[in-house]
Structure 1
Amino acid sequence: MSTVRAPSDPNAAASQDAAFRTRADQVYAQLKRDVAEFSLVPGDRFTENEISERLGVSRTPVRQALFRLQQEGYVEVLFRSGWRVLPFDFDQFEQLYDLRMVLETTAVHRLCESDHRVDRSLLDSLASIWLVPAAQRSADTVQVAQWDEAFHCALVEAAGNAEMARVHRDVTDRIRIIRRLDFTKQPRIDATYDEHAKILKAIRANRGDQAAMLLRAHIETSQAEVRKITLHQVHMARHAGRTRRPGR
C-alpha cells in the first residue's frame, strides 16, 4: 500500500530558498572583502568546510558563493583539493583601466558642457574631502582608498547616464584589489589628493579639456603603478592589514 504524502508548503520552500540566497550573498560579499583586504591572496588554498566554519554557515551557501566568484575569475576549484585564489590577470587589468579611462574622461567632458545639468551639491561634497589643507588630509589608507573609489564613481554618476555608471561600477569592483595595493604607499596618497583637487577645480570652472587631460594623466599614473605590483607586495599588504586589525 502506497503512502500518500501531503504536498509541501510552497511558501515555506520559497522562504528557505530566499534564506539560502541571502546567506550565499553574504558569503559572497565577505569573500570578496577578504580578497580586497588581502585576507585571501593569489595562491591561497582553502576548502568549503574551512569557510563554513569560519563564517558559521552551512556548505550550501558557501558553494553557491564560490561558484559565483569562480565565474567572475576570482577563484578556481581544484580536483579533490578544495579551492584556490587565482593569480592576478594583468592583461585583463590593463583592459579594464582602458575602459575606465574612456568612461571617466567622457563623463568629465559632459560635466563641463554648458547645457548639461550638474548636481553641484555632489561636486561640493567631493570638494569637502579633496579640497582641504594638507594638515586636514586623512592618513588612513583604507579610508582614502574608499574615498578615491567614491570620487571617480561620483564623477561618472553625475554625468547622468545610468548605463555608463553601471558599467563603471562593475569596472571599479573588478579592479578594487589593485587600487587598494596602490594605496599602501603614502606618496601615492599625497599625489591622489593633489590630482583630485586639480581635476575638481577644472570641472568647477567648466574646463572640460583640461579636466579630461588631468584625469587621463591621473589614471595613467595609477595604471603604471599596477604594472609594478609583485606578489611580495600582496603578502606585505596582508601583513599590514593584520597589523591594523589585530582582533581579526
Structure 2
Amino acid sequence: MDSVLDTAPDPAADPAPQAVAKSSPSEDAYRHLRDRLLSGSFPLTRRLAEGRLADLVGVSRTPVRHALIRLHGEGLVSRHRDGGYRPAVPDPNDITCLYETRRTLEIGALWRPAEIGATHHRPTLDALREDWESLRREQPPADAGFVALDEDFHVRLAQSAGNEVMVDLLRSVNARIRVIRIHDFLSDDRIEQTISEHLEILGAVLVDDPSTAERIFRAHLAKSKEVAEERALRAIARMATLD
C-alpha cells in the first residue's frame, strides 16, 4: 500500500491553535473565571453576578460579560433561572455517549487508509510529529488551554486519513466534550504523558500499523476520560458544599 489519499488535506490550511491567547481584560477575566470554575471555587446554584465577579477579577463588568458568554459557549456555565449564569453540571450520560462517539470516529480514521488500499497523508503526519516533538523538547506548563493543542492533534491525525466528513464530526464532538476534557490538562504529569502517547500513536501510524495505533489510542482515551471525569466530579462536589 504505497498510494496516498487523493483527498488528503493540506496541513497548512489548518494551523495549530495557540494554547494561550493574547492578554486583554476580557482574556484575563476569562482565564481567571475559567480556572476558578475548574477548581470548583463558586457555589453550584448561586448566580454568577457580573458586579461581584468584576470586583473579584479586578476589571470592569464588560470584560466579565464577554468572558461569561465565552464560558457559556464552552459549556462551563449554564443559564440561571433568575437570569445570568451559574456553574454548569454536565450530564454523565451525555459525556459517556460523546466519548464513545469520539472513540469510534478516531479508530475509524486510524483504519480507513488500510481499508481502502491507501496510506495516511505523510506530509500531514510529518508536520504533526515535528510539532509534538517540539512540545516534548519544551513542555508547556499545565494549563486548561492545552486542550486546544490536544484537540488539534486528534483532528489533524484524522485529517490525514482523508475523510473530511469524519473530521467535521470529530470537531463537533470535541466542542461538546471540551467541558470535561479540559480538566485533563491541569497537571504537568498529564501534559507529559499526553505528549508521549501522541507521539507513540503517530509512530505506529507512520509505519502503517493501525492495530498498534488503535491499542495505544484506546488506552490513551480511557486514561484521559478517567482523569478528566474524576477531576470534574471533584470540582462539582466542592461547589455543592459552598454557600
User: Shorter-chain TM-score: which interval?
Assistant: 0.5 to 0.7
> Structure 2 residue aligned with 1:78, among 71, 76, 81?
81
Give the alignment of 1:1-248 within 5 angstroms: 37-38=34-35, 40=37, 43=44, 45-46=47-48, 54-55=61-62, 69=72, 74-79=77-82, 82-112=84-114, 115-116=117-118, 118-131=120-133, 136-142=137-143, 144-230=146-232, 232-233=234-235
Distance 1:35 1:235, change over 3 A: farther
Whether the 8 Å CA contact 1:131–1:197 is kept in 2: the answer is yes
Distance 1:113 1:230, change over 3 A: closer
Deviation of the 1:141 alpha carbon? 2.4
Distance 1:225 1:152, change over 3 A: same
Distance 1:178 1:56, change over 3 A: closer
Q: Could you report, residue by residue, the CA deviation over 1:79-138 in whole angstroms, capped at 9, with x for unpaired residues? A: 4x543232132222121111110000110112455733533221111111223595x141
Whether the 8 Å CA contact 1:112–1:207 is kept in 2: the answer is no
How many residues of Structure 1 are paired with residues of Structure 2 in the alignment? 202
Deviation of the 1:40 alpha carbon? 4.7
In 2, the alpha carbon distance for the partners of 1:50 and 1:223 equals 34
Unaligned runs of 5+ in 2: 1-25, 55-59, 239-243
Distance 1:107 1:49, change over 3 A: same
Whether the 8 Å CA contact 1:45–1:83 is kept in 2: the answer is yes
Whether the 8 Å CA contact 2:106–2:158 is kept in 1: the answer is yes
Distance 1:173 1:130, change over 3 A: same
Q: Could you report, residue by residue, the CA deviation over 1:141-169 in whole angstroms, capped at 9, with x for unpaired residues? A: 23643321111111122222222211111
TM-score, L = length of structure 1: 0.64
Deviation of the 1:170 alpha carbon? 1.2
Whether the 8 Å CA contact 1:111–1:206 is kept in 2: the answer is no
Determine what percentage of the aligned residue pairs are the same residue. 27
In 1, the alpha carbon distance for the partners of 2:171 and 2:32 equals 18
Aligned AA (1:162) = E
Q: Could you report, residue by residue, the CA deviation over 1:9-46 in whole angstroms, capped at 9, with x for unpaired residues? A: xxxxxxxxxxxxxxxxxxxx98xx66993355673623
* 1:246 paired residue number: none
Structure 1 stretch 124-133 or stretch 207-216: which is displaced more?
Answer: 124-133
Distance 1:171 1:51, change over 3 A: farther
Unaligned runs of 5+ in 1: 1-28, 237-248
Greater RCO (Cα-Cα under 8 Å, separation 6 or more): 2
RMSD: 4.0
In 1, the alpha carbon distance for the partners of 2:102 and 2:221 equals 8
Aligned AA (2:141) = D
Structure 1 stretch 94-103 or stretch 142-151: which is displaced more?
Answer: 142-151
Whether the 8 Å CA contact 1:113–1:208 is kept in 2: the answer is no
Secondary structure of the structure 2 residue equivalent to 1:228: helix
